[in-house]
Amino acid sequence: MTQNVLSAFKGKVSASNYKNWIGVAPFFLFAILFIFLPSIRLFVDSFKDNNGHFTFANILQLFSEPYILNAYALSIKISAVTALGGAILGFLLAYSVTVGNLPKPMRSILITFSGVASNFAGVPLAFAFVSTLGRTGFITILFKDVFGLDIYQSGFNLYGFAGLSLVYMYFQFPLMVLIMAPALDGLKKEWREASENLGASAMQYWIYIALPVLLPSILGATILLFGNAFGAYATAYALTGGRIGIVTIQVGAQIRGDVLHNPGLGYAMAMGMVFIMAISLAGYSWLQAKTERWLK
Amino acid sequence: MTHLALTNVSKLFGDFAAVRDFNLDVEKGEFVSFLGPSGCGKTTTLRMIGGFEIPSFGNILIDGEDITNKAPNQRNVGMVFQSYALFPNMTVAQNIGFGLRVRKESEANIADRIKEMLSIIHLEGKAHSYPYQLSGGQMQRVALARALAIRPEVLLLDEPLSALDAKIRVSLRAEIRGIQQRLGITAIYVTHDQEEALSLSDRIVVMNTGKIEQVGTPFEIYNFPKTRFVANFVGSLNTADAEVVDVQQGLLIADGVLFHTAEGTKGRSVGDKVKMAIRPERFSFASEQKKANVIDATIENITFLGAVVRIEVKIGNANFNMDTFNNPFLELPKIGSQTKVTCSREAVLVLDD
Ligand SMILES: Nc1ncnc2c1ncn2[C@@H]1O[C@H](COP(=O)(O)OP(=O)(O)O)[C@@H](O)[C@H]1O
Ligand SMILES: [Mg+2]
């Protein structure tokens, strides 16, 4: 009797399981076709030389070629700086249109702008900056004519580290705004009132309640921003024409380039990028587990 | 001695007066409820005591000290919110200790106080649980303990039970009252539930559209409502238009039927149009002719409500409800039959508008 009930129950479960899985099938199809298979190919090909023979040379080169190590360092530096900068700026902006007392229309203006700007990349973004902050850009000229200040003379260079970071910031902070605005909305008014009622200052409220509650979102968003910059290619390429040595551009040069043609090395470098992202994601999960232990 | 005093307190939101001319003196250790329908200004008044709203006019004093414009974190007033408002990132113990921690009390004192509060709310085993691991009733007990931990001069509770289910509501209500009495703390309790207000309070402030309708003990509010609003809002009520016939004898006429009232005609004159009110439970069948009002009635309908049987009777041309206790050994009258019902003079109320 129990047996019958059990097996009937089982049958039902597997039938409904099958139906439940249909909905996510396209996702798995995409994941297999465009993440899983390419990753395997990447992995396999990074152990091949130009003639398709097995080799460790590509992997070893990652750790011995100074220009490759520098490329990783530069990419990590740009990603970290723009992730932190974007996180701070984006957080402050999101704060001012949610918890802060800015008029309501400011919020929709900022959110709409952020939605557009966070997806602004590649040639159009590079062009926008070249025409404003390039050597003959509008703002560069304005500074020269009005204030007598040549920003390129004073060390600024749109096509170097500072310039590229500035350009990246343009899509980094809007992404932070988009992620943090709903998170800040999730802070309940009563928490603030309860803390004030118990004698806490606004500062104590932020330190003991609001920031700890927001920390998982802030960390997650910052890692996302890091990855966003780390994997960016088109913007840097359009801006510098491949003259800045970040990893993605070096990978591109190895795979597509005429001068430095060594796809195996390119794949190995891409593998390195995957590895670095995996480490930062692992670090994120660890931090998140620590900061989110009070969540279900 | 007056502990908490609100004098001529008003609150305007733009042109809209949420609270008007609110006057109330609360004694130390008293439990006072604000009772009224949604939107009548209860929360706004409570928030002014807590410092979350600043009165547009009037003053609020605690022990003679004017706190009208003090910031919330400068007052020593504990608040319990309807939504519990526990800090989700802190354990039960950390929530309870938060007020003392920001006051820079010693760790030893904080630990002692947390222990004491946990035992008061009977949640000793939950010290290290997070809010999401608690039931609604447990969360509200923690919120109560957190508010009490700072030894507030006044405890404010804004509909603390309305998010809970009926059974827990009744038991937690008794627990709140017990703790309040044991600690001798002054409490202001906002509710729209008359049963809650009647069962908990030393005094009830009945409010309507931003104004106080009546202040009194639950007994006074229920038995001697001063206004039509109070009479209708607290308990159920039969009302009828009536006219004063004889001031001396306290005689009213409603729909051709004479009613004797005890005090209702005081200060009025013959011919005055008044609103007469009688609570359903004050009627009974007239077995003996000892009461002042013995009235012919027709049974119109009978509803069985469990402990109470509600009988709708027609007196003159108006229908009245009459509540009697359910007695399984007494036969109920037949619908349509003629009978006599009675009520005392005191039961016949005359209401101000
Ligand atoms: N911050 C505010 N701005 C404008 N109107 C408000 C504000 N707070 C409350 N009100 C209005 O004041 C009235 C009383 O509200 P409230 O005190 O919350 O009522 P209650 O607690 O009795 O339900 C309501 O009509 C409400 O809409
Ligand atoms: Mg309210």
| Same domain for A35 and A95 | no
| Same domain for B295 and B198 | no
Average pLDDT over residues B41-50: 97
- For residue B73, which residues of chain A lie inside 8 Å, CB to CB? 196-201
Parallel, antiparallel, or unpaired for β B293-304 and B308-315?
antiparallel
Segments in chain B forming alpha helices (H) = 42-50, 92-102, 107-120, 136-149, 166-183, 194-200, 218-223, 228-233
* B258 CA from centroid of ligand 1 (Å): 44
Lowest mean pLDDT, pick from A35-44, A67-76, B169-178: A35-44
Task: Please give the residue range of the domain that contains residue B294.
Answer: 236-351
**If you write DSSP's letter for every residue of chain A in order, what string do you get?**
-HHHHHHHHHHHHHHHHHHHHHTTHHHHHHHIIIIIHHHHHHHHHTTB-TTS-B-SHHHHHHHH-HHHHHHHHHHHHHHHHHHHHHHHHHHHHHHHHHTS---HHHHHHHHHHHHHHTT--HHHHHHHHHHHHSTT-HHHHHIIIII---TTTTT--TTSHHHHHHHHHHHHHHHHHHHHHHHHHTS-HHHHHHHHHTT--HHHHIIIIIHHHHHHHHHHHHHHHHHHHHT--HHHHHHHTT-S--HHHHHHHHHH-STT--HHHHHHHHHHHHHHHHHHHHHHHHHHHHHTTT--
Report the distance separating Cα B158 and Cα B84, nearest Å. Answer: 10
pLDDT > 90: what percent of chain A? 58
Total domain count, chain A: 2
| Same domain for B240 and B228 | no
| Same domain for A284 and A192 | yes
Tell me, yes or no, whether A52 lies in a domain. no
Q: Which of B96, B69, B351, B103 has the alpha carbon at shortest distance from B238?
A: B351
- For residue B52, which residues of chain A lie inside 8 Å, CB to CB? 193, 196
Q: What is the pLDDT of residues B202-220, one digit of tens each?
A: 999 999 999 999 999 999 9
Tell me, yes or no, whether A51 lies in a domain. no
For residue B133, pLDDT beyond 90: yes
| Same domain for A257 and A171 | yes
Helix H or strand E segment including B278: strand B273-278
Helix H or strand E segment including B259: strand B257-260
| Same domain for A164 and A17 | no
pLDDT of residue A14: 58
| Same domain for A194 and A116 | yes
**If you write DSSP's letter for every residue of B213-250 in order, what string do you get?**
EEEE-HHHHHHS--BHHHHHHSS--EEEEEEEEETTTT
Q: What is the pLDDT of residues B3-41, one digit of tens each?
A: 999 999 999 999 999 999 999 999 999 999 999 999 999
Q: How many CA atoms lie within 13 A of B50 on its CB side?
A: 29
Report the distance separating Cα A224 and Cα A228, nearest Å. Answer: 6
| Same domain for A63 and A15 | no
- For residue B49, which residues of chain A lie inside 8 Å, CB to CB? none
pLDDT of residue A23: 84
For residue B217, count other CB atoms closer than 10 A to its CB. 14
Q: Which of B42, B4, B27, B29 has the alpha carbon at shortest distance from B160?
A: B42
User: Which are the contacts of A150, defined by CB distance < 8 A and separation ≥ 6?
Assistant: A140, A143, A144
Q: What is the pLDDT of residues B298-322, one digit of tens each?
A: 999 999 888 889 999 999 888 999 9
Total domain count, chain B: 2
Report the distance separating Cα A208 and Cα A187, nearest Å. Answer: 13
Looking at the CA of B81, which ligand is closest? 2
For residue A233, count other CB atoms closer than 10 A to its CB. 15
Q: What is the pLDDT of residues A203-225, one digit of tens each?
A: 999 999 999 999 988 998 999 99
Tell me, yes or no, whether A54 lies in a domain. no
| Same domain for B276 and B222 | no
Task: Please give the residue range of the domain that contains residue A228.
Answer: 59-295
Report the distance separating Cα B353 and Cα B175, nearest Å. Answer: 37
Tell me, yes or no, whether A107 lies in a domain. yes
Q: What is the pLDDT of residues A112-169, one digit of tens each?
A: 999 999 988 889 999 999 999 998 899 999 999 999 888 888 888 888 899 999 999 9
Q: What CATH number does residue B297 fall under?
A: 2.40.50.140
Instruction: Find out whether B190 and B21 touch, Cβ atoms under 8 Å.
Output: no
For residue A295, pLDDT beyond 60: yes
| Same domain for B250 and B134 | no
| Same domain for B186 and B38 | yes
Q: Which of B190, B209, B232 is the last residue of a domain?
A: B232
| Same domain for B304 and B189 | no
| Same domain for A24 and A70 | no
Q: Which atom of ligand 1 is nearest to the CA of B42?
A: 22
pLDDT > 70: what percent of chain A? 93
Q: What CATH number does residue B82 fall under?
A: 3.40.50.300
Q: Which atom of ligand 1 is nearest to the CA of B36?
A: 22
Degrees, nearest 5: CA angle B131-B132-B136: 75
Of A104 and B173, the structure prediction assigns the larger pLDDT to B173
Q: What is the pLDDT of residues B232-278, one digit of tens each?
A: 898 888 888 888 988 888 899 988 899 999 887 788 888 888 888 89
Confidence tier at A1 by pLDDT (50, 70, 90): very low
pLDDT of residue A108: 93
pLDDT of residue A8: 46
| Same domain for B228 and B308 | no
| Same domain for B133 and B81 | yes
pLDDT of residue A6: 46
| Same domain for A109 and A17 | no
pLDDT of residue A84: 97
Average pLDDT over residues A238-259: 86
Disruptive mutation site among B75, B89, B113 for chain A (greatest number of A CBs within 10 Å) = B89
| Same domain for B204 and B83 | yes
- Average pLDDT, rounded, for chain B: 92
Report the distance separating Cα B77 and Cα B15, nearest Å. Answer: 29
Atom 3 in ligand 1: which residue has the minimum CA distance?
B13
pLDDT of residue A5: 46
Report the distance separating Cα A260 and Cα A254, nearest Å. Answer: 5
- Give me A170's structure tokens: 């343009």
Parallel, antiparallel, or unpaired for β B2-13 and B318-325?
unpaired
With CA atoms as reference, the chain B residue closest to A193 would be B52
Average pLDDT over residues A256-284: 86
Pocket of ligand 1 (CB under 6 A): B 13, 18, 36, 38-44
Residue with tokens 């995957």: A274
| Same domain for B18 and B145 | yes
pLDDT of residue A97: 93
| Same domain for A142 and A31 | no
Residue B60 gets the label, from left (phi > 0), alpha (psi -120 to 50) or beta, of beta
| Highest mean pLDDT out of A70-74, A159-163, B222-226 | A70-74
Q: Which of A91, A205, A266 has the alpha carbon at shortest distance from B85?
A: A205
What pTM did the predictor assign? 0.83
| Same domain for A95 and A173 | yes
Instruction: Find out whether B352 and B227 touch, Cβ atoms under 8 Å.
Output: yes
With CA atoms as reference, the chain B residue closest to A216 would be B89
For residue B289, pLDDT beyond 70: no
- Give me A38's structure tokens: 């390419």
For residue A4, pLDDT beyond 60: no
| Same domain for A1 and A125 | no
| Same domain for A127 and A31 | no
Average pLDDT over residues A63-85: 95
In chain A, how long is the greatest CA-to-CA distance? 93
Q: What CATH number does residue A136 fall under?
A: 1.10.3720.10
Q: Which of B199, B232, B265 is the last residue of a domain?
A: B232
Kindly determine whether residue B73 and residue A193, on different chains, have CB atoms separated by under 8 Å.
no
pLDDT of residue A288: 81
- For residue B150, which residues of chain A lie inside 8 Å, CB to CB? 198-199
For residue B142, pLDDT beyond 70: yes
| Same domain for B255 and B164 | no
pLDDT of residue A3: 47
Tell me, yes or no, whether A15 lies in a domain. yes
Confidence tier at B353 by pLDDT (50, 70, 90): low
| Same domain for B167 and B61 | yes
pLDDT of residue B203: 97
For residue A35, pLDDT beyond 90: no
Q: Which of B201, B232, B263 is the last residue of a domain?
A: B232
Tell me, yes or no, whether A11 lies in a domain. yes
Q: How far is B30 from chain A (nearest CA, A)?
A: 21
